[in-house]
Amino acid sequence: MSGRAADQADEAEAPLAPLVAGVGARRGVPVSEVLELITATCAAAGYAARQVVALATVAAKADEPGLTGAARELGVPLRSFPAESLAAVRVPEPSAAAAAAVGTPSVAEAAALLAAGPGAALAAGKRKSAPPARATCALAVPAVTDGGVLTAGREGAPAVPSAGTVIVMTSPNPPRRGPDRWTAVVGDPAPGSATPGSKETQ
């Protein structure tokens, strides 16, 4: 086997980097719409839907059938976070409408970042489903340590997860940290988001 063929074989066998999909939803959103949105969001960012290891949302939507059904179809857990925990995460596209509706200016992006754990970065910003849009989705990748270790957060808790509540996974193929990704730190301002927008209603 040539060197290039061997490299390709190694890449094919290497585990794919894990992703957390943050999802916001309006009441009554169908499972199919949520699944199509997650697949489209992954594809647009150059990922595969099978890389999603968890869905995440606000606690008020934790029992929404469209979200629980999508998680069941994907075979992954649905994490949920209190609105106040999500509101503490600075994101690129905060929404005044979402803040008024569910108590946090971001659901999809903030939930993805919290569930992906300390130091997580957005791999894909908020994307809406096809009109009439009833769901939003964002993707986050866990932080990568110098030793190639990925850290992913546990499920939602009454407060922002601490550095001690993490699941540690190792991967020989950790996600790349490109210039279009940024790491959210609770309490820090987001780049280019001095004033809240009004795009997200979930």
**Confidence check: pLDDT of 49 > 50:** yes
Strand partners, 197: 95
Query: Is 3.20.20.370 the CATH classification of the domain at 17-170?
Result: no
Query: Who wins on pLDDT, 128 or 172?
Result: 128
Query: Who wins on pLDDT, 12 or 29?
Result: 29
Question: Has this prediction a pTM greater than 0.85?
Answer: no
**Confidence check: pLDDT of 197 > 70:** no
Whether the CB-CB separation of 123 and 44 falls below 8 Å is answered with no
Q: What is the pLDDT of residue 143?
A: 86
Query: Who wins on pLDDT, 140 or 182?
Result: 140
What's the chain's average pLDDT?
Answer: 76
Q: What is the pLDDT of residue 137?
A: 98
Query: Who wins on pLDDT, 58 or 98?
Result: 58
Q: What angle do CA 54, 58, 61 make, to 5 degrees?
A: 95
Q: Among 14-18, 95-99, 121-125, 164-168, whose mean pLDDT is lowest? A: 164-168
**Confidence check: pLDDT of 131 > 70:** yes
Q: What is the pLDDT of residue 103?
A: 94
Q: What is the mean pLDDT of residues 105-129?
A: 96
In the chain, where are the structural domains located?
17-170
